[in-house]
């Protein structure tokens, strides 16, 4: 899997074998186009980060900082090694743990993000629903949440977020959210 654009364009992001289901490159390219060309100063959170490709792509395009969360220590060691190899350790932070729990900790610390990408292992009533339930607490005022899920199996939409769009790419779907009116 390669970085599509920016300062790291063309760099290969290693994918730990058997450990993750990475977002297809064409889906990631489409997502970056939807999110727009302006990445300077953005703070990004990549929940269920796997290879970290989304976070690295965001940093490559100019994001100020990316926080990558996963509960697999081996996966995070690979992400940390990739950050070192790319020379972006000052811009990339990894956190280990259950994404919903880490979101609570980040909210208590007052951290806010402009873009939150959630791409958990596909499972009904799984970790995506619990992560979405608490993500509004770390979402900046005008921030966007993107949830990747299998097409035909949407997540449970929390009352704190409103759906602003959806795109389908084969058997993969992306659902976009922002703060629900009155939820701030």
30-89: pLDDT as tens digits? 899 899 888 999 999 999 999 999 999 999 999 999 999 999 999 999 999 999 999 999
User: Residue 28: what pLDDT?
Assistant: 85
Is residue 45 one of the residues assigned to a domain?
yes
Count of domains in the chain?
Answer: 1
Residue listed under structure tokens 């990747």 = 148
Is residue 12 one of the residues assigned to a domain?
no
Look at the pTM and tell me if it is higher than 0.85: yes
* CATH number of the domain that residue 148 is part of: 3.40.50.150
User: Residue 183: what pLDDT?
Assistant: 65
Q: Which residue has the higher pLDDT, 24 or 54?
A: 54
Tell me the C-alpha distance between 25 and 20, whole Å: 14
Tell me the C-alpha distance between 184 and 1, whole Å: 37
Domain with 51 in it: 28-179
| Averaged pLDDT score across all residues of the chain | 91
Is residue 70 one of the residues assigned to a domain?
yes
| CA dist 59 → 23, 32, 91, 161 (Å) | 17, 12, 7, 26
C-beta separation of 22 from 48 below 8 A = no
């Amino acid at each position: 899997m390669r970085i599509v654009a920016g300062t790291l364009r063309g760099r290969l992001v290693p994918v730990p074998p058997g450990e993750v289901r990475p977002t297809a490159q064409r889906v990631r390219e489409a997502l970056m186009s939807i999110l727009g060309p302006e990445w300077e100063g953005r703070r990004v959170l990549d929940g269920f980060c796997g290879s970290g490709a989304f976070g690295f792509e965001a940093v490559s395009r100019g994001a100020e900082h990316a926080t990558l969360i996963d509960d697999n220590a081996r996966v995070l060691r690979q992400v940390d090694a990739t950050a070192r190899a790319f020379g972006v350790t000052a811009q990339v932070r990894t956190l280990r743990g259950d994404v919903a729990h880490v979101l609570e900790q980040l909210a208590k610390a007052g951290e806010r993000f402009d873009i939150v990408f959630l791409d958990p292992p596909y499972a009904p009533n799984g970790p995506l629903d619990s992560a979405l339930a608490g993500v509004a607490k770390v979402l900046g005022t005008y921030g966007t949440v993107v949830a990747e899920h299998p097409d035909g199996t949407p997540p449970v939409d929390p009352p704190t977020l409103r759906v602003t769009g959806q795109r389908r790419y084969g058997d993969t779907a992306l659902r976009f959210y922002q703060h629900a009116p009155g939820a701030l």
